[in-house]
Amino acid sequence: VTPPCVNVTSSLIYLNNPDVRKALHIPTSVQDWDICSGVVGAQYVRKYQTLYNQYQTLVKHYRIMVYNGDIDMACNFLGDEWFVESLKLDKSGDRREWVSNKQIAGFVQDYTNVTLVTIKGAGHMVPQDKPAQALKMFTAFIKNTP
Amino acid sequence: GSNPDEVLSLPGLAVQPKFKHYSGYLKASGTKKLHYWFVESQFEPETDPVVLWMNGGPGCSSLDGLLSELGPFHLRDDGKTVYMNPYSWNNAANVIFLEAPAGVGFSYSDDKNYTTDDDQVSMDNYLALQDFFTKFPQFSKNPFFVTGESYGGVYVPTLSMRILEGNATINMQGFAVGNGLSSYALNDNSLMYFGYYHGLFGTDLWSQLQCYCCNASYCNFHDNAQPQCSLVVGEAMNIVYNIGLDIYNLYDDCAGGIPPHATVFKVAMSNLFRNYKIKYTPLIKKPPKLR
């Protein structure tokens, strides 16, 4: 059940080291750590085909950021862009580039209470692929700055 | 006072960090205990926001988020040496990494029943979050955000709904979703355009996709009743998924190379084109046995 093209060997070695488990207060009776659980995944019941209704409610109360590394194919940026557009929120300003380290880091579109961001050249795991850009984006979001 | 969950010495780290961090369990419903690893902010933990992070799957561990993505502790290839990530999100916030649902990573349930669903998971995460603020009441007034990626696209808004509708004292400000699953239909349909406009599909295949899956105004690749459509979508997915491209990062190398013959990656595939039974054809056929 390890996702394809992902190397988790170092995490497997580290987290299954008895000294590490002890430091993290994991009882010896608890199962070995693995990146994904086949047991959980196989029995999992999905109840929502779309999160449209949840977003329609939540956008009235909370600040939301939807971001996408733009070369991921598992959950690609275009699908999430279409999803945010389907909410039919008012746009504030034009779609624009955003910059990190004097380079265009991606593109951003603001809506009422929602910010839609792409991170150029990042895949599914954005903070792993573009760590500096991810931190800048995250910090701007929690501080509510552009 | 002292907290029994505090991690006093992390193996493999040459110098212990100046910020505090904690690892332990949070109570969910029934006999479920969810493992968390909480890293305080490196600068002003008393006032910085508290952020919950959840990886997806469903069924994958958020410790990957900590050790490979946004956490402060990253691992060398030897699996023994830990180094500090200068771009950790705890540069700006206190971050909780939660392993959920029970059965994932170090999370468990005494009754070993790991059947669950989206609603149960959101409730268990909500209960665990309340237990977190019982353990750490000093953070209950800090601004709070829910974040996650991938199937976190379901976990994050459903937990946010619990927080909105519940009566727990949480200073919820917002949520963020990275490369999240927000709609199966939009995710499937957009992927075909993504593949074509990144040059993965040739003109012949694209023409067939349009011919069998589209009408004059709309293409439905997601759950098209036409058998020819599902066949050509299967052909397209074979290219996206099964010929050695990294589905998570188109321009990166696939760790381990082209997947071996007949490898089935259940977790990754479970979120795409769930309405079809796609038969994947390996790029490299298994060689005949030599005598």
pLDDT exceeds cutoff 80 at A98: yes
Which one, of B174, B167, B158, lies nearest residue B116 by Cα?
A: B158
Nearest to A143 by CA among B149, B168, B197, B173: B173
Taking contacts as CB-CB distances below 8 angstroms, the residues of chain A near B103 are 37, 39-40
Note the pLDDT tens digit of each residue in B93-104.
Answer: 999 999 999 999
pLDDT exceeds cutoff 70 at B56: yes
CA A4 remoteness from chain centre: 18
- What residues of B are in contact with residue A31 (Cβ under 8 Å)? 106, 108
Which residues, 6+ apart, have CB-to-CB distance to B258 below 8 Å? B243, B244, B283, B284
Q: Which region among A6-20, B124-138, B238-252 has the lowest average model confidence (pLDDT)?
A: B238-252
pLDDT at site B1: 59
For A10-28, write each residue's pLDDT tens digit.
999 999 999 999 999 999 9
The answer on pLDDT for B257 being more than 90 is no
Given a cut of 50, whether residue B267 has pLDDT beyond it is: no
Report CA-CA distances (Å) from B142 to B89, B92, B138. Answer: 16, 13, 8
Q: What is residue B289's predicted lDDT score, i.e. its pLDDT?
A: 76
Whether B114 contacts A39, CB under 8 Å: yes
Contact B190 A3 (CB under 8 A): no
User: What pLDDT, on the 0 to 100 scale, is given for residue B242?
Assistant: 82
Element (H, E) at B252: none
DSSP annotation of B232:
H
Structure confidence at residue A39 (pLDDT): 93
Kindly state the average pLDDT of the residues A61-79: 98
Cα angle B249-B252-B256, degrees, rounded to a multiple of 5: 105
Distance of CA B5 to the CA centre of its chain: 25
User: Where is mean pLDDT largest: A38-47, B101-110, B242-251?
Assistant: B101-110
Cβ contact (<8 Å) for A20 and B85?
no
Predicted pLDDT at B285? 58
Can you tell me the distance from the alpha carbon of B182 to that of B175, in angstroms, rounded to the nearest whole number?
14
Give percent above pLDDT 90 in chain A. Answer: 94
CB-defined contacts A:B, below 8 A: 351
**Range B205-230 average pLDDT:** 95
DSSP class of A64: E
Nearest CA in chain A to B64: A35
Whether the complex's predicted ipTM surpasses the cut of 0.90: yes
Shortest CB distance from B183 goes to which of A3, A9, A51?
A51
DSSP state of A94: -
Report how far residue B254's alpha carbon sits from residue B274's, in angstroms, rounded to the nearest whole number.
23
What residue type is B198 in one-letter code?
H
- Nearest by CB to A78, from B101, B194, B268: name it: B194
CA separation for the pair A127, B155 (Å, rounded): 19
According to the model, what pLDDT value does residue B256 have?
Answer: 82
Confidence of residue B269 (pLDDT cuts 50, 70, 90): low
Which residue has 């903070």 as its token pair? A127
As given in the structure block, the two tokens for residue B160 are: 């946010």
CB contact (8 A) between residue A11 and residue B70: no
Secondary structure element (H or E) that encloses residue B82, with its range: strand B82-84
Which tokens sit at B116?
């669950």
Reply yes or no on whether the pLDDT at B283 is more than 70. no
Q: Is B77 exposed, middle or buried (0-12, 13-18, 19+ CB in 10 A)?
A: exposed
Q: Which of A24, A71, A128 sits opposite B251 (nearest CB)?
A: A71
Q: Which of B219, B162, B154, B146 is nearest to B184 (CA)?
A: B154
Rounded to a whole number, what is the distance in Å from the CA of A53 to chain B's nearest CA?
10
Of residues B176 and B286, which shows the higher confidence score?
B176
Torsion of CA B244, B245, B251, B252, to 10 degrees: -50
For range B71-78, the mean pLDDT: 97
Question: What is the percent of chain B where pLDDT is above 90?
Answer: 84
- Measured between beta carbons, the chain B residues lying within 8 angstroms of A131 are 70, 85-87
CB-CB: which of A31, A49, A58 is closest to B184? A49
Separation in Å, CA B12 to CA A10, A16, A25, A35? 12, 13, 16, 20
Treating both helix axes as pointing N-terminal to C-terminal, what angle do B184-197 and A77-86 enclose, rounded to 10 degrees?
Answer: 130
Chain B residue with the nearest C-alpha to that of A15: B79
Mean pLDDT, range B238-242, rounded to an integer? 87
Rounded to a whole number of angstroms, the distance from the CA of A146 to the nearest CA of chain B is 15
List, for residues A116-134, the tens digit of each pLDDT value. Answer: 999 999 999 999 999 999 9
Tokens of residue B196, six digits:
């074509």
> Helix and strand tally (H, E) in chain A?
7, 4
CB B87 within 8 A of CB B74: no
pLDDT greater than 80 at residue B156: yes
Residue B204: count of CB within 10 angstroms of its CB: 10
Predicted pLDDT of residue B227: 93
Sign (positive/negative) of CA torsion B176, B181, B184, B189?
Answer: positive
Q: Does B263 have pLDDT greater than 60?
A: no
